[in-house]
A and B are shown apart, each in its own frame.
Chain A
Amino acid sequence: MTIRYLKKYAALEDVVTVEEAESLWEWMCQQAHPAVNLSKCQHLHTAVLQVLLAARPKFVGEIGDSVLAMALGQAHADSAGHESMTKKGVTL
């Protein structure tokens, strides 16, 4: 398992595969204010990314993968009122 569900947040680490999208979604559904830590995440599958985009969790710590940071930053900038912890408009 590359997702560790902690008390305050879920830590997504290394490469998160498609099989883990469902458990993450279930976990997100149960949380009132879900938060995730992506600092050690190298890659996550599109299905997992989709869950993150839909659930709009709070991000704990920096996002390790710069491409991911850019996409999530943009997506969160689009959805007004939601505070994003990543730098906006990161370029590679």
Chain B
Amino acid sequence: MTVNDLLHQFVVEARDCLESISQRLLALEKAPHDQELLNDLFRSVHTLKGNCGLFEFPSLERVVHAGEDLLDQVRHGRMTYHAEMGDVLLEAMDFTADMVDLIERTGGVTSESQIPSERLATRLRAFLQANTKASQQAEVHQAEALPPATPPSWLASIPPDWCTEFPQSVAWRYEPEPECFFKGEDPWRLAGLAPGLKAITVRPLTPWPDLSELDCYRCNIEILGISDAPLAYLTEHFRYVPEQIAFHELHTGVAATTPSISEVNQPELSLPEVIRQRALQIWDEQRHILTQSDLAPGTAASIRHVFLQLLRATQAPQLAAAEASLQALGDSAGSEALHSWSALHHPAGGPEQAKSSTPSTAVLQFAADAAKTAPAPSSEENAHSRVLKVAQDKIDRLMDLIGEMVVAKNALPYLAQRAETVFVQRELAREIKAQYAVINRIAEDMQHAIMQVRMMPVGTVFQRFGRLVRDISKREGKEVQLLIEGEDTEADKNIIEALADPLIHIIRNSLDHGIETPDKRQQAGKPATGTIRVTARQESDRVIIEIHDDGAGIDARKVRHKAVERGLVHADKAEALSDSEAMQLIFLPGFSTAETVSDLSGRGVGMDVVRTAVERVNGDVQLHSQLGLGTTIRLSLPLSMAVTNVMIIDAGGCRFGVPMDLIVETVRVHQEDIHHFKQARTTVLRGRIVPLRALHELLELPGEASVNEEGEHAVLVVRMGAENMGLLVDHFHGATDIILKPLEGVLTGMTAFSGTALMGDGSVLMILNPKELMS
């Protein structure tokens, strides 16, 4: 694995962590005392910090570290979580997300990020300091009774002027072990790089001997230093030499020692007791291994060795007897023999020793707990290993390949046709068709399977809403409650991604224009807290997403007025529109009803962007609103857009494809049934007037729409929003599955076509975009 791969992995994992962190932070606002949640949150931040530590991203690590320290205090109940803390934490998280993006783009962080990083870290640490001050004040009375903490003796060797010069800093003493040079350590370098180093001095531990007697490879120095970095950074910096380093905070006069892991977990236990517990735990783990079948002889032998060492470490009362019996078992002892021996000579007390040498109940409990919990994580790990993390581009590649496969497969029917007509091989043609049927089935299954892989729950987009609603409602002074339903509904990854921005826009609109301020709401007889409800569900092969708010609703009169004012529709036409039709005007480009431009919405790039984005993925938007009661926006999207079903038509000698989901019907209309009115042509189908346009005219193709022997036109009726429209073409051909490739390069601007597709016979089919073509 190269560094680049590692970095990539880091980015992926960091994003995962950030996502869960943001969710937990928001959940925490509602339940600030949920211990489970706090632990989860801390774990996520801790993982993130650990990952950052793998790389040299100081500005990133600093912020995450500060966040971790803060959460650790909250987790242990030494501080209470409050909204301000949440604000800063969320801000820090945003910063981290930006950094991760930057790392992904450039592979590193720039020095520019240093300043915001330090500022954020300081703000986070401010909470910690405020807390220590508060607790110090609380303890003032107690402290008066107690003698002040005695400074460590080594402090005397630090020049006193340093202490006066840097009163707010941390003094430290680093005494490297004599053999450290042989371990590849360079204590001077470690000390010299200490964060926030202000002053440093080196002294011999024992007076220097005569130069000729000096052993230059035996370390005989101590390093004393003053740093103004927080104690946590120093502890982190010297984390590999915890027993050789001592800290003293000058301003508090508190000697700070690096807490060992055992102290954190079991603060009330003495060291021998900790060792004893650990030994018991290891003992039980070994016993657990012994119960497994198919144990290799080597494993049994090494377990026997472990037991022997444990016996000595715990200084079990019957040490000699137990050891002797273990020795008697010999190296070749089987796992069963060992298991029964270990039960008999358990250090916590065997079956009969339990009464005589009553160990403390806590220890027994601990051992039992250890035995119970030990297998649990392993099974959890197994569950995790079954989930495979795959980069998106790999799935996309698979998708492209299956697309090509579908196209290649479609060449077989042409081949069969050629075999029959050109080479007059009917037998062969039939065989090719039979093979085609098999390949077709497999390809379809494959396509379906890959499609399943690309399916993502829509909830991944919804997750961002919580944050959005929280931030905006706070800033706007509105009270808003967000309800999300059906976040498990799945749709294709591309659709979900295309949806993210329009949805955020809609929610912003609801927050900005929809939901009123609490007092306005109460005047209108509504609860002060507004509700935005986002629901997702699947309806046949489409995903329906509805965003409903119980806000002010849309005033059709205002919309009409605004649309006319902006010159988007003619005044007469605006008056003729029904209320619900008038509301659809907000989807026109350049429409905005907001009186002032806010940074949320109201720039006039709102709803038309939403509509364009949704239509780009073959979806559509509907809007319903009732004045005073609220607005509902309904998005309907296809489940997948990888393979498009098109109908092939013929006009002016060219072939075109029309997306099947837009086609209502194909009909033959007699020339005489077409009514001409000036330039416009219409016909009546099933009692409804359908406007007709000829594809030849729209695309400026040569000739006129042809008629067959019976004098009938071929009319393709397509859906245009709520209306139907007829398209005059020359001939209809069959339907086919194609992989739609968007137009690239100079062709991008041609909105009349939604893309191209490669046909089985190698030709290129242009796919029409009837909505753009006929509007």
Contacts and interface: CB of A to CB of B under 8 A. Distances in A.
Nearest to A34: B211
A22 B189 CA distance: 19
A51 interface: yes
B312 interface: no
B164 to A, nearest CB: 12
Contacts of A22: 216-217
Nearest to B224: A74
Given A22-B216, A51-B216, A53-B221, A71 B201 contact: yes
Interface string A15-52: 00010011011001100000000000001111101110
A53 B206 CA distance: 12
A44 B188 contact: yes
Nearest to B184: A18
A74 B161 CA distance: 13
A47 B181 contact: yes
B216 A29 contact: no
Contact of B203 (A24, A70, A78): A78
Given A46-B181, A89-B161, A53 B211 contact: no
B221 A28 contact: no
A44 B219 CA distance: 14
Contacts of A47: 181, 216-217, 219
B196 to A, nearest CB: 10
Contacts, number: 86
Contact of A92 (B197, B203, B208): B197
Contacts of B197: 67, 92
Nearest to A90: B199
A70 B199 contact: yes
B214 A71 contact: no
Contacts of A43: 189, 192
A67 B189 CA distance: 10
Interface in A57-92: 67-68, 70-72, 74-75, 78, 89, 91-92
A29 B199 contact: no
B211 A74 contact: no
Contact of B204 (A21, A54, A89): A54
Of A54, A55, A78, which is in contact with the most chain B CB atoms at under 10 Å from its CB?
A54
B198 interface: yes
Contacts of A21: 216-217
Contacts of A70: 199-201
Given A46-B219, A50-B216, A54-B208, A74 B202 contact: yes
Given A75-B203, A92-B197, A50 B176 contact: no
Of A70, A71, A72, A78, which is in contact with the most chain B CB atoms at under 10 Å from its CB?
A71
B212 interface: yes
Given A67-B197, A67-B200, A71-B202, A49 B211 contact: no
B198 A67 contact: no
A54 to B, nearest CB: 4
Nearest to A22: B216
Given A43-B189, A44-B188, A55-B211, A92 B217 contact: no
Given A25-B216, A70-B199, A46 B161 contact: no
B742 interface: no
Determine chain B's interface SS by DSSP, over half rule.
mixed
Interface in B146-204: 159, 161, 165, 176, 180-181, 185-189, 192, 197-204
A74 B159 contact: yes
A29 to B, nearest CB: 5
Contacts of B216: 21-22, 24-25, 47, 50-51, 54
A91 B199 contact: yes
Given A50-B221, A54-B211, A75 B201 contact: yes
A49 B161 CA distance: 25
Contacts of B165: 91
A46 B165 CA distance: 27
Contact of A46 (B189, B199, B214): B189
Contacts of A67: 192, 197, 200
Contacts of B188: 44-46, 49
A46 B159 contact: no
Contact of A29 (B192, B198, B212): B212
A55 to B, nearest CB: 5
B220 interface: yes
Contacts of B192: 43, 67-68
A6 to B, nearest CB: 20
Contacts of A89: 159, 161, 199
Nearest to A21: B216
A46 B175 CA distance: 12
B200 A46 contact: no
Contacts of A55: 211, 214
Interface string B603-623: 000000000000000000000
Contact of A18 (B186, B199, B202, B212): B186
A51 B198 CA distance: 24
B198 A91 contact: yes
A71 B216 CA distance: 18
A44 B220 CA distance: 16
Contacts of B176: 46
Interface in B201-249: 201-204, 208-209, 211-212, 214, 216-217, 219-221, 223
B163 to A, nearest CB: 13
A88 to B, nearest CB: 10
19 contacts: A18-B186, A22-B217, A25-B214, A25-B216, A43-B192, A46-B176, A46-B181, A46-B189, A46-B219, A49-B202, A49-B221, A50-B219, A53-B202, A53-B204, A54-B216, A67-B200, A68-B192, A71-B223, A92-B197
Closest 9 CB pairs of A and B: A74-B201, A46-B188, A54-B208, A25-B216, A21-B216, A67-B192, A71-B202, A46-B187, A54-B214
Given A50-B219, A54-B209, A71-B223, 15 more contacts: A25-B214, A29-B211, A46-B176, A46-B221, A47-B181, A50-B220, A53-B202, A53-B208, A54-B208, A54-B211, A70-B200, A71-B201, A75-B201, A75-B202, A75-B203
Interface of A: 18, 21-22, 24-25, 28-29, 43-47, 49-51, 53-55, 67-68, 70-72, 74-75, 78, 89, 91-92
Interface of B: 159, 161, 165, 176, 180-181, 185-189, 192, 197-204, 208-209, 211-212, 214, 216-217, 219-221, 223
